[in-house]
Chains A and B, each alone.
Chain A
Amino acid sequence: MNTNGETIIDVRGLTKRFGDKTAVDDVDLTVAKGEIVGFLGPNGSGKTTTIRLICGLLRPDGGEGTCLGHDIVREAEAIKRQVGYMTQRFSLYEDLTIRENLEFVARLYALPNVRQSVDETVEGLGLKSRQHQLAGTLSGGWKQRLALAACIMHKPRLLLLDEPTAGVDPKARREFWDEIHHLAEDGLTVLVSTHYMDEAERCHRVVYIAYGTIVARGTAEEIIESSGLGTFVVAGSGAAAAARALNGMPGVEQVAAFGQDIHVVGSHGPSLAESVHAVAERYPIHVAPGETTLEDVFIRLMSEAQVNENGR
């Protein structure tokens, strides 16, 4: 990735207010050609708003930048021609069939051969058997396939996907991501928002946003590394009781259940170790140093951001 260093998205200081609420606050974001960038953050943190700002669907109240080399405010039309945007909510026409929706999109992008493009798309995405079904009667997984098909048919250079796999079963999600990687190998750039950790791990790079501000960015390893968090895994029959005891002890910042195990996370190594070992002596558990996961980091980022937000 990032072979020739071409920058696809380059925005600085992006700010968007709705009334007196600042939904996106001074966001800088760069995405290089061929990258798959994961966009994470709790609900209402400004992911959708940021994506809309990038593709010219909203006017920023502050900041500037380019997308595909075009100014995001003044050259929105040029951007729209080369971007495929998959909205968070299904926003194709439910009273049109799959095929009619695709034909609509194909004509909108003035594709030279509408029928052929639609045929290929329908077949490529395995939608052929259902092409004459009304979109409104499709299940979530099929709708998602249709929406993806509609936004890649015109061979865009940038894909903006807003929670594309929400409510889609694991197999379909897997296939979806295989497809995304496939497209990225051909040089397509992808910015994708998601809540799924496994999906975040399949991205080349991750950006984490909370309350409209980007609070972490980098590869998964970099983010884990820079968080400075250490983790102990607590297992055994007394794990649940131990978890309650650990809550609030010195150095213990997060206690979270992962299946049978408990992850105990803290940023100050020595005091965390001391607390964990003290508890281990009182309960039937065994304790081992563990790998800090991206999820541990994100949960931590989320609660930190919340403290900051409430403290304002």
Chain B
Amino acid sequence: MKAHSAASRIRAVLLKEVIQMRRDRLTFAMIIGIPILQLVLFGYAINTDPKNLPTGVVMADPGPVARSIVAGMQTSGYFLIERGHTEAEARAGLTAGTLAFVVTVPAGFHSDLVRGQSPEIIVEADASDPTASANAIAALPEIVNRAIAASTQGPMSAANGAGAVRPEIIVHRHYNPERITAYNIVPGLIGTILTMTATLMTALALTREIERGTIENLLAMPLRPIEIMIGKIVPYIGLGFLQVGVILIAAYLLFSVPMEGSLTLLLSAVLLFIAANVTLGYTFSTLARSQLQAMQMTFFFFLPSILLSGFMFPFRGMPVWAQAIGQVLPLTHFLRAVRGVMLKGNDMFQTLPHLWPVTLFLLVIGTIALMRFRRTLD
């Protein structure tokens, strides 16, 4: 009987929230619109296929194959070859950003090739804009293969008999070792959108009642704090899943983002993460006096989440204090979990280490919310 009436009260709040949510067309449109908008915006970034990237060539061995490779790079359209750099000049260009690549053909390249050893071509890339360099790098092996094929058949076939030998291309990515690639964007997008919207929506949950005066009626009725909390956050967990659904489907259809691991595992991580965020929002709601305050708290939380979670900057590249803050944020762990599941196909045991910090966060924040909830109008 007791449990029945508690369930009935939770249901009351929950259904009420759903109706209000549905009726608030603008907010609802925003909730669905933001992920689509973001995806399309990022989608353009993903699809950009920049050409004519300035490339410095340090040619220590101006043999025919090397020249043929450089020529092939030029004709591929990706690389705009600038010759005549010394090694130091080329490095400086890369640092300054005037060069996107430095290609070094080491001394003895040609003789190694002729002797049947695999010489190295070193390609150093400015990966701080990884989407810019990714396609060019991807095109390199083919360029090299063709160059070698051409030189073995042509009149200058000095490397006859070395047809099976391939130079090894060694790519060094500078400045962004974790390099956010097209695929990395999607988990990040899920995480940041949920951090923003899920937190904000519930942050407004109680303050709206305070501002509209409906809190007086709500508190005058026999509701327990935990019942209000559950009734108010569950609908927004549903809404969060709707957003994730939109992102995942669009990511799959538009960009063929892979799904290496289990979808169930991914959705479990998502559930936990949404729960943490809506609970945080609800906690803000119990602390704030107005909707404006609640919104400010949300932004105050959003900023470090974006900057320190490893979404914007590689986590290991941050100073220790920033990493310490980052460790507390659910987004940090969620990103690791989701990248692992989606891109690396991690299983449950590999994912669990990233999930318990989120669970801990959820429990602590939820307890604060329940303790801070004001049962009276004082």
Q: Which residues of A are at the interface with B, using a C-beta cutoff of 8 A?
A: 52, 55-59, 76-77, 80-81, 83, 85, 87, 89-96, 100, 103-110, 150
Closest 6 CB pairs of A and B: A107-B12, A110-B5, A110-B8, A91-B217, A80-B222, A85-B220
Measured CA separation A27–B145 after assembly (Å): 96
Q: Would you mind naming 6 contact pairs between A and B with Cβ atoms under 8 Å apart?
A: A58-B377, A95-B23, A100-B16, A104-B15, A108-B8, A110-B8
**Cα-based distance from A93 to B376 in the complex (angstroms):** 19
Contact between chains at A96 and B224 (CB < 8 Å): no
10 further A-B pairs in the complex, CB-CB below 8 A; given A81-B222, A104-B15, A109-B222: A57-B376, A59-B376, A77-B222, A83-B220, A91-B215, A96-B19, A96-B20, A107-B9, A107-B15, A109-B221
With a cutoff of 8 Å between Cβ atoms, the chain B residues found around residue A109 in the complex are 221-222
- Is B219 positioned at the interface, with any CB of A under 8 Å from its CB? yes
Q: Across the interface, do B20 and A91 meet the contact criterion of CB distance under 8 Å?
A: no
Verify if B168 is at the interface (C-beta below 8 Å from A): no
Q: Within the assembled complex, what's the spacing in Å between the Cα atoms of A94 and B211?
A: 13
The reply to whether B378 and A100 contact each other, CB–CB distance below 8 Å, is no
Q: Count contacts between A and B, CB distance < 8 Å.
A: 80
Interface size on B, residues (CB 8 A): 29
Residues of chain B contacted by A80 (CB below 8 angstroms): 220-222
Task: Please tell me if B223 contacts chain A, counting CB pairs below 8 Å.
Answer: yes
Let me know if A108 and B220 touch, CB within 8 A.
Answer: no
Cβ 8 A contact of B217, one of A56, A59, A81, A92: A92
**Is B372 an interface residue when CB atoms closer than 8 A count as contact?**
no
- Give complex CA distance A57, B23 in Å: 29
Q: Is the CB of A57 within 8 A of B214?
A: no
Complex: how many Å from CA A110 to CA B219? 16
By the criterion CB–CB under 8 Å, are B378 and A91 in contact?
no
Contact of B12 among A87, A89, A94, A104 (CB under 8 A): A104
| B203-228 vs A, Cβ < 8 Å mask (1 yes, 0 no) | 00000000011111101111110000
Write the chain B residue with the least CB distance to A82: B222
User: Considering the chains assembled together, what is the distance between the CA atoms of A57 and B300 in angstroms?
Assistant: 32
Would A57 and B9 count as touching, CB distance under 8 A?
no
Interface centre among B13, B215, B219 (most CB of A within 10 A): B219
Residues of A within 8 A of B13 (CB): 104, 108
Contact B377 A57 (CB under 8 A): yes
